Every structure is written in structure tokens, then in C-alpha cells.
């Protein structure tokens, strides 16, 4: 099961790349030996793209939500101009 393709090969076998993305997961495209693109199935793409909720909801669901932290009462720093 191959999931890494050189750009030239991916161009020639584009249909296979698409089919493999649907059956075997993400397909990585390399250009000059470096990964440069990924082909995903629409199912995988939609899973990544769906909104996960707001940032405030993320913080409210944190196990640290509501915990009070003690701050040090350091003196103000002098700013030199």
C-alpha cells in the first residue's frame, strides 16, 4: 500500500491517487523529494473542516476552568528609555 507519490507519477496516475485516498487514507505528493501536498478523501476533509466549537467554549471545558491562581505581588519594573 503506497501513500507517497512523486509529483510526475501522481499526475500520470491521478485516478489511482484519488481512489487510494478514499480507500487507504491520505496520499502525500512530493516535489523534489519534499512533501508538498496531500490528497484526502472528501470524508476525511469534511472531518477536518467541521467547526469544533468556539475558543471560549474550549477554555470553559478545560479541567482548569474556575481554578484561582495566586499571583506574585512583585514590584513594578523600572522602564529605561
Q: How far apart are CA 22 and CA 43, in angstroms?
A: 8
Q: What is the pTM of this model?
A: 0.63
Residue 48 inside a domain? The answer is yes
Residue 20 inside a domain? The answer is yes
Residue 72 inside a domain? The answer is no
Residue 71 inside a domain? The answer is no
Q: Domain tally for the chain?
A: 1
Q: 57 to each of 29, 47, 50, 66, 68, how far by Cα in Å?
A: 36, 19, 16, 13, 18
Residue 79 inside a domain? The answer is no
Which residues have a Cβ under 8 Å from the Cβ of 43 and sit 6 or more positions away? 22
User: What CATH code is carried by the domain that includes residue 27?
Assistant: 3.40.1620.10
Span 18-62, pLDDT tens digits: 999 999 999 999 999 999 999 999 999 999 888 778 888 888 888
Residue 56 inside a domain? The answer is yes
The domain in which residue 35 lies consists of: 4-60
Q: How far apart are CA 6 and CA 32, in angstroms?
A: 8
Residue 8 inside a domain? The answer is yes
Span 1-19, pLDDT tens digits: 689 999 999 999 999 999 9
Amino acid at each position: 500500500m503506497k501513500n507517497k507519490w512523486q509529483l510526475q507519477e501522481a499526475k500520470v496516475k491521478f485516478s489511482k491517487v484519488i481512489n487510494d485516498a478514499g480507500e487507504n487514507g491520505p496520499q502525500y505528493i512530493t516535489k523534489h523529494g519534499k512533501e508538498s501536498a496531500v490528497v484526502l478523501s472528501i470524508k476525511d476533509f469534511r472531518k477536518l473542516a467541521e467547526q469544533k466549537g468556539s475558543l471560549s467554549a474550549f477554555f470553559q471545558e478545560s479541567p482548569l476552568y474556575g481554578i484561582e491562581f495566586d499571583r506574585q505581588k512583585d514590584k513594578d519594573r523600572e522602564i529605561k528609555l
